[in-house]
Amino acid sequence: MAYTIDQDECIQCGSCEADCPESAISEIDGQYIIDPEKCTECATCADVCPVDACSPA
Longest dimension (CA), the chain: 25
Sign for the CA dihedral angle at 32, 8, 2, 36 comes to: negative
Taking 90 as the threshold, does the pLDDT of residue 1 lie above it? no
Residues 7-51 pLDDT 10s: 999 999 999 999 999 999 999 999 999 999 999 999 999 999 999
Domains and CATH numbers, the chain: 3-56 (3.30.70.20)
Prediction pTM value = 0.92
